[in-house]
Amino acid sequence: MRIIRNSVPSRDGFYMPGEFEPHEGCIMIFPERPDSWQYGGYAARRAFVQVAEAIGESEQVTVCASGAQYDNARAALPPHIRVVEMSSNDAWARDYAPTFVRNAAGEIRGIDWGFNAWGGLYDGLYFPWDKDNQMARKLCDLLNVDVYDKRDFILEGGSVHVDGEGTCMVTESCLLSGGRNPRLTKEEIETVLKGYLGADKVLWLPCGIYHDETNEHIDNICAFVRPGEAVLAWTEEESDVQYAMSEACLEYLGNATDAKGRHIRVHKLPLPKPVTVTEEECRGLDACWDQPTRIPGERLAASYVNFYIANKSVVMPGFGDPADEKAKDILQELFPDRRVVQIYARDILIGGGNIHCITQQIPAGRRR
C-alpha cells in the first residue's frame, strides 16, 4: 500500500463513484462496545448479521471483528461472509472505512480522512477514537489499494453523498460544525471535497435529522437514487421540529442544480413516528465518559433514508412503524432492478445510526 501525500485524487483522475454503481464488496464492523449497544451488543449483533447476510447475497461482505469477538463473529456469520480481525473503537464502517475512488482505467484507491468521533473534544461522542482512525489505512493495506493521506481533514463517510457525475451533497450543520474543521472556511472545505471526491459542485443542505448526534449527517436525510434524483426524509407533521428542517432541505434542493446543470427530482420518503429510547433499553447501556449514554425518552434519529444500495438489493431499515411499508414501496419503485429488503433496525438505531452508517461499499474495479 502506497501512501500518497503529494497529490489529490481529482488531480490523478480519480473520483468517488455513486453508491448505485457496481460494487466489489462491502465492509462492516462487528458491534461490541457496551456503552453504544445495549445488553452487551447481543441484539445489535443479530441485526448486523442480518444486514451482512442481505448484502452478502450480491456482493462480498468483509466483517471486521476485534480479537475478542473474532470467534463469535465467525460463528454468527455464514461462510461466504469474510471475517477479518481488526480493532476499532466502535462499529460505524461508513465513517471510518476509506472512501474509495476510481479512475477511468478502473483502478481503485482509498482516502484516509481524519476521524475524531464526530466532533473530537468539542462535541464528539466518545474518547479515544484512535483505533477507528487507523481503520481506513488498515483496510487499504488489506485490500492492496493505494491510499490518499488526508488525516489533517476531519470527515466521516456518512457526511457526504455523491452522484458519481460530479455532484457532492453534504449538510452545513455537519461540515461546518465546530468540532471538525473549524479553522477552514466553507470555501476551503468545498475545495477539499472537490479535490478528493472528484466533484465539480457541492450541494449544501442546511441540516439533517433532528437530534442526529453526528451533527446531522447527510446520509440520514437525503440520498441520491441515481444522478439527478434523490430521496428526502419527510414528515407531514407540521408541529414536529423535523418539519421545518425537511422543508428547508426541500426548498434548497428545489432551487439547486447539480454538476450537470440538472434540476434534482426529489422524492419524499416518509419518516416513522418519533422513536424514543425506553427505560429498559437505557438500563442495558454502560455509561460513556461516566455519563449515561442515553436518557429514557430521548428521541432517536430514525430515518428510512439510511439504506444501503447493494448490487442487487437495497437494504433499508424498518422500525415497526405504519410507515415502514410505505417507505419500502417508494424505494422499491425507485429501484426497479433491485429487491428492497427491510430489516428491523431498532437495535442498530439505538447505537446512533442505521444501515448506511454501518456499511461502506468498495466499488468494482481493479486492485493492485
366 binds a copy of itself (CB under 8 A): no
CB of 86 to a copy of itself, least distance (A): 5
CA 52/CA 49 separation, integer angstroms: 5
CA 216/CA 171 separation, integer angstroms: 7
Q: Which is nearer to a copy of itself, 87 or 220 (CB)?
A: 87
232 binds a copy of itself (CB under 8 A): no
Neighbours of 69 (CB within 10 A): 21
Q: What is the DSSP letter of 312?
A: S
CB 177 within 8 A of CB 215: yes
364 binds a copy of itself (CB under 8 A): no
23 binds a copy of itself (CB under 8 A): no
CB of 74 to a copy of itself, least distance (A): 7
CA 295/CA 55 separation, integer angstroms: 33
Compose the 71-110 pattern: x for residues touching a copy of itself by CB under 8 A, - for all others. x--x----x--xxxxxx-----------------------
287 binds a copy of itself (CB under 8 A): no
CB of 67 to a copy of itself, least distance (A): 4
Q: Determine the interface stretch with a copy of itself among 104-112, 113-121, 129-137, 191-199 (rule: CB under 8 A).
A: 129-137
How many residues are present in the chain?
368
From the list 64, 168, 222, 357, the catalytic residue is 357
Residues 130-149 that bind a copy of itself (CB under 8 A): 131, 134, 137-138, 141-142, 144
3 binds a copy of itself (CB under 8 A): yes
- Candidates 67, 104, 187, 261; binder of a copy of itself (CB under 8 A) is 67
Q: Determine the interface stretch with a copy of itself among 67-75, 99-107, 210-218, 331-339 (rule: CB under 8 A).
A: 67-75
Residue keyed to cell 479553522: 183
Q: Which is nearer to a copy of itself, 131 or 299 (CB)?
A: 131
Neighbours of 245 (CB within 10 A): 23
Annotated catalytic, 140? no
125 binds a copy of itself (CB under 8 A): no
Q: Which is nearer to a copy of itself, 122 or 127 (CB)?
A: 127
Residue 342, beta-bridge partner list: 316
Evaluate the CA torsion angle 300, 305, 311, 313 in order and state its sign.
positive
Q: Which is nearer to a copy of itself, 82 or 262 (CB)?
A: 82
CB of 75 to a copy of itself, least distance (A): 10
CB 364 within 8 A of CB 21: yes
CB of 36 to a copy of itself, least distance (A): 19
List active site positions. Answer: 357
> Site residues (CB under 8 A) for a copy of itself?
1-3, 67, 70-71, 74, 79, 82-87, 131, 134, 137-138, 141-142, 144
